[in-house]
Amino acid sequence: MDRDRDDEEWSRAATEELDVASEELFINMGPQHPSTHGVLRIILKADGELILEAVPVIGYLHRCAEKIGERVTAQQYIPYTDRFDYLAAMINNCAYAMPIERLAGIEVPERGRYIRTIMSELNRIASHLVSFGAYGLDLGAFTPFLYAFREREYIVDLFEEACGARLTYSYIGVGGPRWDLPEGWVDRCRRFLDYFEPKIDEYNDLLSFNHIFIKRTAQVGVISGDDAVRWGLSGPCLRGSGVKWDLRRSAPYDIYDRFDFEVPVGVDGGHDDVPRGVVVGDSWSRYFVRILEMRQSVRIIRQALDQMPEGDIQGKAPRQLKLPAGEIYHEVEGARGQLGFYIVTDGETIPKRVKVRGPCFCNLSIVHHVCRNVLLADVPAIVGSIDVVMGEVDR
């Protein structure tokens, strides 16, 4: 810098319109990146801080899971379902076991149906806790992650007491749960619910209503209800856009029609305790729907514990179950959306065709649409609000 120039020259130079050339830059976000929630790669086309395009690249976790389902028996395939959405493995077990039971005409006893519903809702809470904590990490808040795993540990302990595993359970098989609940488990579960429910208010004080968090997520990555339906979104991503659709309520399966609970959806800010500035379908709405769903899962579990009868837990399902020829499609409300199995059988013990409808795969498809003309710092906020698990995307 020439410090001998007089003030007039400096002033003139500062006010001149500079002709600065710029060029577009391609950035690889992932596949090894903490904000991609797994081995997801997103190719970002950037002009400075502005993201012009975002293209997801998948397949880094592909394990031929569907083809394996066409090489093993129905009972042998249960452990593979754990590895889809590995944060909600109990729900995956149920999603595959139910259509097989319908095909084979297996009747699961009432107690067994209640147990798998309780386990599914506990797993939904555990999954949403990881989502809550990891989303805070994505945006620079470390403490919520510690709070989330503190509570999740209680749920994992309950699972370990029931089946011996803490992440991939293989507990819900064809015909019902593999083992009955151990003595004292129901009382310990009630104590956990009493302890956990007030903690949700702590999460809101810590993160949900944090001014910086709201600024990072409100009106960011807005997905309209029409776009959410058009792109095949489901779960919290769909309900965050204001669409009140939850299979547990809209198309009840198993015993969900026996419970009283609400279906949370995204709403505009300024009422219903939603901060001002929030709009339906933004990243904050998708996040907050999961917070509200944890309360509803607590309601469902309490009712299930009260209603659960004594008796057998497993229906009659032979080890070498011969499936009658036919086809079936059945889906459940997973932690991240509608998880469905399409199964074709030809009268043998091994299915002829197994096709999985993974909610994360469909939810991820909208990234290319919603991550346009946003800032670089908004991409982790948007992708984190979608809450993908790559095991369910690649399969």
Q: What percent of the chain has pLDDT over 90?
A: 83
Query: Residue with structure tokens 């998880």?
Result: 339
Flag whether 255 is in a domain.
Answer: yes
Q: Does the pTM exceed 0.85? A: yes
Strand residues in the chain grouped as ranges (E): 25-29, 41-47, 50-57, 172-173, 176-177, 326-334, 337-345, 353-357, 374-375
- 11 pLDDT exceeds 90? no
Q: Evaluate whether residue 2 is within a structural domain.
A: no
Instruction: Decide if 17 is inside a domain.
Output: no
* Residue 319 is assigned to a structural domain of this protein: yes
CATH no. for residue 96?
1.10.645.10
Residue 38 lies in a domain: no
Show the domain range for 256.
Answer: 57-394
Collapsing DSSP to helix, strand or coil, 272 comes out as coil
Question: Checking phi first, is residue 168 left (phi over 0); if not, alpha (psi -120 to 50) or beta?
Answer: beta
**pLDDT for 32:** 82
Between CA 190 and CA 77 the distance in angstroms is 32
Residue 21 in domain? no
Task: Give pLDDT, residue 10.
Answer: 46
Residue found under tokens 């710029």: 22
What pLDDT was estimated at residue 17?
A: 47
- pLDDT higher than threshold 80 for residue 15: no
Nearest to 97 by CA among 20, 192, 169: 169
Strand partners, 51: 46, 374
- Looking at residue 14, what is its pLDDT? 46
24 lies in some domain: no
Q: Does residue 23 fall inside a structural domain? A: no
Interatomic CA distance for residues 163 and 157, integer angstroms: 10
Instruction: Give 246-286 pLDDT, tens digit per residue.
Output: 999 999 999 999 999 999 998 988 777 788 888 999 999 99
pLDDT tens sequence across 44-102:
999 989 999 999 999 998 999 999 999 999 999 999 999 999 999 999 999 999 999 99
When divided into structural domains, the chain yields a total of 1
Report d(CA 86, CA 65) in Å as an integer: 13
Q: For residue 179, what is the DSSP state?
A: S
Whether 24 has a pLDDT exceeding 60, the answer reads yes
Task: Band the pLDDT of 318: cuts 50, 70, 90.
Answer: confident
